[in-house]
Amino acid sequence: MSRPQVVVYPAPGLLAAATAARLVTRLVDVQAARGYASVVLTGGGTGISVLEQLRAAPARDAIDWSRLDFYWGDERFLPSGHPDRNETQARAALLDHVPVSPDRVFAMAPSDGRFGNDPEAAAADYADLLAGKAGPEDHGPVPTFDVCLLGLGEEGHTLSVFPGSPAVYETERTVVAVRNCPKPPPTRISMTLATTRQSAEVWMVTAGDAKAAAVAMALGGAGEVQLPAAGARGARRTLWLLDKPAAAKLPNVFAPPLS
């Protein structure tokens, strides 16, 4: 697994805009080399801000949206179209405004979908979908995602994998149902940390001084059971993209000059 690299931006708006610009460059490069690309989306305020900035970016149309696969790292197990679903927010921020191919948008099942109120069945279905997208070159049960976007909770969770939860110990399943989450809604579907480690690149994008302690602990050697975000690593690259308040408690070794 790759070692984390840290880039710090002065303010959350610049962080979101710069991450969007990075994403354009990365996806265009991958498409130029291979013809198509894939990205794992995240929710949360900063994650959605990145998508809004991508929608507004002048260079966004350099991406061939018809040859881009969209996945989600986790989802709130709520009815289709619910405003708190990551899918709903991502569609409003970006996907409804660019020429994506509907058959390349792989949303997790809602609670009123074909599995009904059965998050375990919905999680197993998403795991089956990922397995079907994996090829021999991926050497595992999921495709190699080109970029996996992640966020960070104040207590150190990422995806819907919370400290000390059953999901943080999961090493065999690629997608799990998560019940009794300490943050609402209590039921979710989530990729596991092992799944994110199949990504070529993992980008942890977070802002705000409320995240500073968790950022410092995750980058300071905390274990993933205590701080799941510490276990989110890309196979080739792991980027922590932060604003200045989120980086406030980092030792100098992790804090490069502001970009």
Question: Angle at which helices 12-34 and 44-56 pack, to 10 degrees?
Answer: 60
| Of residues 2 and 43, more confidently modeled | 43
The per-residue pLDDT for range 188-231, each reduced to its tens digit, is 999 999 999 999 999 999 999 999 999 999 999 999 999 999 99
CA distance 205 to 158: 11
Within-domain flag for 259: no
Can you give the residue range of the structural domain that contains 23?
Answer: 4-253
The per-residue pLDDT for range 121-139, each reduced to its tens digit, is 999 999 999 999 999 999 9
CA distance 194 to 233: 9
pLDDT value of residue 2: 87
Backbone angles phi, psi at 47, to 5 degrees: -60, -40
Given a cut of 90, whether residue 87 has pLDDT beyond it is: yes
- What value does the mean pLDDT take over residues 21-48? 97
Within-domain flag for 258: no
CA distance 117 to 244: 41
Within-domain flag for 120: yes
pLDDT value of residue 252: 65
Band of the pLDDT at 118, cuts 50, 70, 90? very high
In the chain, pLDDT over 90 holds for what percent of residues?
A: 95
Within-domain flag for 211: yes
pLDDT value of residue 258: 44
pTM: 0.95
Given a cut of 60, whether residue 255 has pLDDT beyond it is: no
Domain with residue 50: its CATH number is 3.40.50.1360
- What value does the mean pLDDT take over residues 180-191? 96
In the chain, pLDDT over 70 holds for what percent of residues?
A: 97
pLDDT value of residue 256: 44
Band of the pLDDT at 24, cuts 50, 70, 90? very high
pLDDT value of residue 257: 44
Mean pLDDT of the chain: 95
- What value does the mean pLDDT take over residues 146-165? 97
Q: Please state the domain count of the chain.
A: 1
Given a cut of 70, whether residue 259 has pLDDT beyond it is: no
Given a cut of 50, whether residue 28 has pLDDT beyond it is: yes
SS (H, E, C) the chain: CCCEEEEEECCHHHHHHHHHHHHHHHHHHHHHHHCCEEEEECCHHHHHHHHHHHHHCHHHHHCCHHHEEEEECEEECCCCCCCCCHHHHHHHHCHHHCCCCHHHECCCCCCCCCCCCCHHHHHHHHHHHHHHHCCHHHCCCCCCCCEEEECCCCCCCECCECCCCHHHHCCCCCEEEECCCCCCCCCEEEECHHHHCCCCEEEEEECCHHHHHHHHHHHCCCCCCCCHHHHCCCCCEEEEEEECCCCCCCCHHHCCCCC
Given a cut of 60, whether residue 254 has pLDDT beyond it is: no
